């Protein structure tokens, strides 16, 4: 497992949490929620790509 993947996910989490706090403090709760959802989508896309690579590796390993 790449440690790089963990750092990418952590970086997205830190950026999203900072943006969320700034937006909430400025009274823009709706934008804060949308920022959190966008961060979640970005992380899920990264994870889904890695899972797809894993399935391709298993498929090649067992030659299906």
pLDDT of residue 10: 96
Render pLDDT for 8-51 as a digit per residue (tens, 0 to 9): 999 999 999 999 999 999 999 999 999 999 999 999 999 999 99
Task: Quickly count: other Cβ atoms within 10 Å of residue 40's Cβ.
Answer: 13
pLDDT of residue 2: 79
The CA-atom distances, in angstroms, between 58 and each of 27, 39, 47, 52, 54 are 48, 29, 17, 10, 6
As separate numbers, helices (DSSP H) first and strands (DSSP E) second, the chain gives 2, 0
- Checking if the pLDDT of 64 tops 90, the result is no
List the structure tokens of 50: 């890695």
Question: Which whole number is the average pLDDT over 49-56?
Answer: 94
């Amino acid at each position: 497992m790449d440690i790089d993947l963990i750092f990418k996910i952590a970086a997205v989490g830190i950026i999203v949490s900072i943006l969320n706090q700034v937006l909430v403090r400025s009274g823009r709760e709706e934008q804060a929620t949308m920022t959190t959802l966008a961060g979640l989508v970005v992380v899920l896309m990264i994870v889904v790509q890695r899972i797809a690579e894993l399935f391709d590796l298993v498929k090649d390993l067992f030659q299906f």
